[in-house]
Structure formats: C-alpha cells, structure tokens
Chains A and B, each alone.
Chain A
Amino acid sequence: PVTAGSIVVPYGHVIGNEKWRGSEVAQRLQGKVRLIFEDGLGLVDFHLPNRTCILLISEADLVAGDEFKRRLVRFRNASSLRGIVIVEKTQISDQYYSGVQKLAVLELGMVLLPVANQGEASQLIIQLVSSCVREQSRDRGSRPFLGKQRAPAAEPALLRAVQRIPGLGRAKALLLLRRFGSIHRLCNAALAELEPVVGQAVAQQIHAF
C-alpha cells in the first residue's frame, strides 16, 4: 500500500492519486499545472517535482479520528521523500489542528500547511509547484530566502571587536590591528610587544583581558 515512490515528476507537472479524479482540487489544478492521474500511489495524494509528496487531510479525516495519524506515521517510516501535509482547517476541525501540528511537524519533522478548503489547497499546490520551477531556474531574485548574502569584508567587524577590549578606542584598536594583523596574533602578543604600541597601562589591560 505504501509506495515510497521513486516517481520522477517532470517540472511543471503533478501526479495525482486516482482517487482525486473529478474532485474540486483536481479541477482547479487542471489548466494551471499538468495533472496526470495514476493508480497505486498508496498514501500519497499528489507527487510534485523535486521529490516532494503532498498528503491531503480533509476536515472529515480530522473529525473522524486517528486514521490520518497512522497514515502520516506510515508515510514517514516508508519514505525518504519530503512530505508536505496540507490540512483543511475549518471552524469544525480547528480544535484538532494543534494536535496534528505537534505530530506532523514536531514529532515527524514534516511540513504542515493549513488551508480553509479544497480551493485554497489547489492554489497552494500551484505555488509549491512553481516554487520548484523557480528553484530549478537558479534565478536568485526569485529565491527570496535561499540566496546567500554576499559576505561583507571582515575589516569593520574586526575593528569593532577589538574596540570591545576595555581601554581601547578606535585609534588604539587601529594601531593594534595594523601592527599585529589578526586577533589570533594580537592575543598571542607579549606584553613587551604591546607596550610600544599602546603604552604600558593599556598593554597590561589588554593582556589581562
């Protein structure tokens, strides 16, 4: 029943479990993504590109009891694919949400996203698919949280750090850095080496720090 699934999903495509044929979520996905139905997807409702699986939990599933919990646990045990659980959080099912969240996110380490109805679920799936596409296109501007900030030069930070040593202002910190270069060498400088740069009193202070 569990297909841990090494299904390869082409970009822009979604493979849907046969049981969703004709449903609202399927109808709304059609035209926005290329939806292909397949039998035997087991626990998974939709396969997205990028090794991601969607498990859809309806309001009725939540209210009915613990069956959906067994499904999540079985998926987690059987599959190394990324599991995104989309759950219908409505006025009726709201009271069960925090329990589901604890299980899915905190215990099983899955992603859990609430929606109000099947229409919202399809909108969310469309965004998840297009974010896979963007990810692939390597366009930095469209990957808002993944881009690495360009590392700033270490010099201003070095100067700030050295100024945190008691007794040192900007001028003396600069003198020390120019003389010793790195914090590593500054730390290992002998008192006699420090004295000519900053004077006896401050040299002792640095050494004591």
Chain B
Amino acid sequence: PHSPSPCILADSREISSGPEVISCLRAVHGLRVQICSLGTSDYMVSSRLAVDRLLQSELQSPGNRNKLSQRLQRLRSVFERICVIVETDRVRPGETSRLFQRTQYYDGVLSALVQAGIRILFSSCQEETAALLKDLALLEHRKDAAIQVPTEPEGHQRELLNFYLSIPSLSYGAALNLCHSFSSITAVANSSVPALAAGARLSRPQAEELHRFLHHDFDLQLLPQPLPKGKS
C-alpha cells in the first residue's frame, strides 16, 4: 500500500521537546507523522535522510561539544544523509529577548558541520522547523526516497521489527523496509549484498555491513567480561 503523502518518523522525545513541530506537521501541512523511538535522530524524513533539531544555544556552549560530536558521529554511521536544523531558542514568557552573541566557538562548530558534509538549515521557531521538515520530505519524495512502507507493523511484523532494530548500524527506516521487503529473517540472512541494498534501500557500504553482521561468526571470547546484565 503506497501512501499518498510522505510520512515523517519522529522520535518520541520530540513530543516533549518539539510539540509544535509535530502538531504543525500534522495540522498545517497534513503530513503523516509516526511517533516511534528512533533513538539516533529526532526525525527521519525519508529512507536515507535523518534530521536533527538543535537549538542555537546548544551550538553556542563548548560544554556540549562532546555530546554533540558523539551524537553526530552516531548519525553518520547509520545514515547516508544528515541534516541539522538550527533553531533559535524560544524566549520564555517574561524574559526579554537576549541578544545572540556569536562566538568563535559557534563559527567553529558550523565550519566543522560544513566540512563533514552535514546539511544545515536555520529556523526561527518550531513552526518554521515544521515547514522545513515538510520541504525536505517533499524533496525526498520527488527523489523517490520517501518512506512508503507501513510504519505501524503489528503482531509478528512487530517482533520482526524489534529483531531488525537490534542490529547496529541499521536505522529505523531500514528496519521497516526489511520487514516490508522480506518474508522472513531467513530470507534476509540468505540475501546477497545487492539484494539487501535494494530491499532495505541501503547504500552499498551499509548493505555490506548488514551482510557482515548476519554472517559474523560468534566468538564467546569477544563478549565483554563480566557479562553485562539485562540489556535486551
């Protein structure tokens, strides 16, 4: 079943941190927004494009450097394309708008993002962020990369999805595509790299990594000792 309008996946944390983004996407732009625990990124607007929403103040404070860097590295290991939307901080009621003091550190972060090939958009508020997400989704839709599989699997499909989601380096979108394109895990496990790339809509290196994982020979010695508990 192909969806008429593009679908956007939103991370469940965004319900509290970006409620107006989500309601705008639905009410103003009429998009399907599926809330799920994406974990790595705030939004997925297509099978390959992850979008992270960052507040300008987060890019301003050197204290965030490590957190930001780890987050973006993780995104880069899972997604082919990354975009960050830098959103102006909201002025709280009773607070006068603080002047944005541009620092050398901030310019350094922007330069590093440019250098890393991460696309950057600037937004002045949550409503504008929603409009940008819609534009990105439509653009990816035109490029035939839109998320067009059912985003709410049930029953056995749900269990399969949970299995695929536990595979490192696989995004939520790729896991959904695996559920949709292959009849079983065995079918996935017996697929060639090109078949995995086509079925899960992965890039060649990503498909190679998945293939390696499925064929990886388990070595008990490489399991961290002592064994971590309850991490299923």
Which residues of A line the B interface, CB within 8 A?
84, 97-98, 101-102, 105-106, 111-116, 120, 123-124, 126-128, 130-132, 135, 143-149, 152-161, 163-166, 170, 174, 177-178, 181-184, 187-188, 209
Contacts and interface: CB of A to CB of B under 8 A. Distances in A.
A177 B218 contact: yes
B135 A106 contact: yes
A62 to B, nearest CB: 14
A188 B131 CA distance: 47
B162 A105 contact: no
A88 to B, nearest CB: 13
Contact of A182 (B111, B135, B214, B223): B214
A156 B223 contact: yes
Contact of A165 (B72, B163, B217): B163
A191 B165 CA distance: 26
A105 B65 CA distance: 25
B128 interface: yes
Interface residues of B, number: 58
Nearest to B139: A106
B222 A155 contact: yes
A144 B108 CA distance: 10
Contacts of A114: 122
25 contacts: A111-B119, A111-B120, A112-B120, A112-B122, A116-B102, A124-B107, A126-B107, A127-B104, A131-B114, A144-B65, A149-B73, A153-B223, A154-B213, A155-B220, A156-B231, A158-B213, A161-B167, A163-B232, A166-B159, A170-B232, A177-B220, A184-B190, A187-B185, A188-B190, A209-B184
Contacts of B232: 160, 163-164, 170
Given A123-B102, A158-B213, A187-B186, 17 more contacts: A84-B114, A98-B128, A105-B119, A120-B102, A127-B107, A143-B112, A144-B69, A144-B112, A145-B76, A160-B231, A164-B159, A170-B232, A183-B214, A187-B190, A188-B186, A188-B189, A209-B156
Looking at chain B's contact residues, is the secondary structure mostly helix, strand, loop, or mixed? helix
A52 to B, nearest CB: 9
A146 B214 contact: no
Given A145-B118, A163-B232, A164-B163, A131 B112 contact: yes
A182 B215 contact: yes
A156 B224 contact: yes
B16 interface: no
Contacts of B115: 131-132, 135, 143, 145-146
A164 B135 CA distance: 37
Contacts of A178: 218, 220
B17 interface: no
B167 A157 contact: yes
B167 A181 contact: no
B71 to A, nearest CB: 9
Interface string B190-222: 100000000000000000000011111111101
Contacts of B212: 154
Contacts of B118: 145
B218 A181 contact: yes
Given A131-B112, A160-B231, A184 B214 contact: yes
A183 B168 CA distance: 14
Contacts of A112: 120, 122
